[in-house]
Amino acid sequence: MAYFENVEKIQFEGPKSTNPLAFKYYNPDEVVGGKTMEEILRFSVAYWHTFTMDGTDPFGQGTMIRPWDRFSGMDLAKARVEAAFEFFEKLNVPFFCFHDVDIAPEGSTLRETYKNLDEIVAMIKDYMKTSKTKLLWNTANMFSHPRFVHGAATAVNADVFAYAAAKVKKGLEIAKELNAENYVFWGGREGYETLLNTDMKLELDNLARFFHMAVDYAKEIGFTGQFLIEPKPKEPTKHQYDFDVATGLAFLQKYDLQDYFKFNIEANHATLAGHTFEHELRVARINGMLGSVDANQGDPLLGWDTDEFPTDLYSTTLAMYEILQNGGLGRGGLNFDAKVRRGSFEPEDLFYGHIAGMDSFAIGLKVAQKLIDDKVLDQFIAERYESYTYGIGKEIVEGKTDFHKLEAYALENDQIKNVSGRTELLKAKINQYILTVLAE
């Protein structure tokens, strides 16, 4: 049975197309910098935003019209799987992602929840046999149910810690069963509301214990996917422990976990942390920790995680610049952790949202590749730091100086000449490159 009857397989029709159900820039077979767009971009659909969420917000009920919503319970879960694989095929997308509770309803006991999961995972596995869409990552939702009111691995109650461990254990088994490329940890309620009632040190130590146990279990069952931490500064907690990449990295290093994890970087989480998307990608990249991306965007006028489909070409360009400089995303991908607006409630809007995001990243990719090919930023940056390639600068970089030598040098060279950083010129160049790609 078809859930998206009005939609045929989405084709690349080029920038002149007026067909809203066609790609204008994302051409999976087009080669950019030696690889196809499909290989580089590794797009993924987020199950929760696309098949599960109904448009509820703190002020109002769901608005989404979803043909599968005439079912309930396990029948609804099965209908969603059918709808999902129809959607993946029509969108021609290589990956998807889910939380455990997105795919199967929780039972009244943990055993019943496992049973529900097993049934749906078996169904998904069956679909995957004939589908080209693979699992980018799965994760455990440890933030919606009231039992997680005080956190999961950082909960005040050891029973909750044990329950969370059981959920992740099951999640890793599912990841292995479905051949997931990665397994994600997003610490939704791993943080605190007030220090007045919080033992921060114990909570952080426990979080590290939890991660070590996850690493051990993955080894035990032979799950070889990449572990990813997805930083976010706040929401739902006031202060989330994996605030941003730098905080997450310090945590991983302190607890000897850095060899087992990389980061899943979400654009809207970056901006909530007071960073740009590209800042977070850069911090991860220069530390060899860039694993995957949750591709979305926030709204500067709203202070929360709006999870919009990415359409800002400036941002997709700078993000793709980081990703290309990283040599790609390896096992990671660009997962649309993005939802259509509450007012975009028709099933077709799910296609329009994804097409908008895919085209925006395709443009970003082409612009970024040109910037790299023409060494626009590389050359400017190399020249800007040239003083470290000879003389005293070279000695600094090579560790051949100390404060005595530097003082002696400074005493003879205290009439310093600086050079402009040319921010405006560079921004104009980026605009020029974006416009050139759009005009092609």
Query: Considering 99, 275, 279, 354, which one is annotated as catalytic?
Result: 99
Segment contacting Co ion (CB under 5 A): 166-174, 262-270, 283-291, 383-391? 262-270
Binding of residue 337 to ligand XUL (CB under 6 A): yes
**In the complex, minimum distance from the CB of residue 107 to ligand XUL, in angstroms, rounded to a whole number:** 21
**In the complex, minimum distance from the CB of residue 337 to ligand XUL, in angstroms, rounded to a whole number:** 5
Cα separation, 85 vs 395, in Å, equals 59
Binding of residue 242 to Co ion (CB under 5 A): no
Taking a C-beta distance cutoff of 8 angstroms, is the pair 226, 135 a contact? no
Cα separation, 133 vs 180, in Å, equals 11
For 141-225, strand residue ranges (E) read 182-186, 191-192
139 touches, from Co ion, ligand XUL, none (C-beta below 5 to 8 Å by class): ligand XUL
**In the complex, minimum distance from the CB of residue 209 to ligand XUL, in angstroms, rounded to a whole number:** 21
Tell me the β-bridge partners of 393: none
Query: Considering 100, 102, 294, 305, which one is annotated as catalytic?
Result: 102
Comparison of 49 and 279: residue with beta carbon closer to ligand XUL: 49
Q: Which of residues 19-78 bind ligand XUL (CB under 6 A)?
A: none
Q: Which of residues 173-192 bind ligand XUL (CB under 6 A)?
A: 184, 186
* Angle in degrees, CA 144, 147, 149, rounded to 5: 70
For 415, the enclosing helix (H) or strand (E) is none
Q: Which amino acid is at 339?
A: K
Number of shown-chain residues binding Co ion (CB under 5 A) = 3
Cα separation, 156 vs 314, in Å, equals 43
Burial 96-131 (b: 16+ CB within 10 A, else e): bbbbbbbbbeeeeeeeebbebbeebbebbeebbeee
Contact code string over 2-21 relative to Co ion, x by CB under 5 A = --------------------
Comparison of 269 and 366: residue with beta carbon closer to Co ion: 269
Q: Which of residues 92-111 bind ligand XUL (CB under 6 A)?
A: 99
Binding of residue 232 to ligand XUL (CB under 6 A): yes
Binding of residue 294 to ligand XUL (CB under 6 A): yes
Pairing of strands 334-336, 290-294: parallel
232 touches, from ligand XUL, Co ion, none (C-beta below 5 to 8 Å by class): ligand XUL
Look up 404 and say whether it is catalytic: no
Pair of tokens at residue 336 = 């649309």
Comparison of 28 and 231: residue with beta carbon closer to Co ion: 231
CB-based contacts of 245-249 (< 8 A; 24+ apart in sequence): 245/280, 245/283, 245/284, 245/287, 245/289, 246/283, 249/283, 249/287, 249/289
Contact code string over 126-145 relative to ligand XUL, x by CB under 6 A = -------------x------
CA 64 to chain centre: 24
With CA atoms as reference, report the closest residue to 290 among 268, 263, 322: 263
Taking a C-beta distance cutoff of 8 angstroms, is the pair 171, 100 a contact? yes
Look up 256 and say whether it is catalytic: no
Comparison of 181 and 430: residue with beta carbon closer to ligand XUL: 181
**In the complex, minimum distance from the CB of residue 160 to Co ion, in angstroms, rounded to a whole number:** 22
Comparison of 84 and 324: residue with beta carbon closer to ligand XUL: 84
* Angle in degrees, CA 333, 334, 337, rounded to 5: 125
Comparison of 24 and 167: residue with beta carbon closer to ligand XUL: 167
Cα separation, 424 vs 35, in Å, equals 32
Query: 3-class DSSP state for residue 142?
Result: coil
Comparison of 184 and 320: residue with beta carbon closer to ligand XUL: 184
Cα separation, 206 vs 154, in Å, equals 6
Cα separation, 104 vs 322, in Å, equals 36
Q: Which of residues 266-325 bind Co ion (CB under 5 A)?
A: 266, 294
> Site for ligand XUL (CB under 6 A): which residue of 190, 230, 242, 308?
230
Cα separation, 335 vs 315, in Å, equals 16
Binding of residue 339 to ligand XUL (CB under 6 A): no
Comparison of 53 and 363: residue with beta carbon closer to ligand XUL: 53
Cα separation, 213 vs 207, in Å, equals 10
305 touches, from ligand XUL, Co ion, none (C-beta below 5 to 8 Å by class): ligand XUL
> Site for ligand XUL (CB under 6 A): which residue of 266, 278, 308, 322?
266
Query: Which residues form the interface with Co ion (CB under 5 A)?
Result: 266, 294, 337
Residues marked active site are found at 99, 102
Query: Which residues form the interface with ligand XUL (CB under 6 A)?
Result: 99, 139, 184, 186, 230, 232, 266, 294, 305, 337
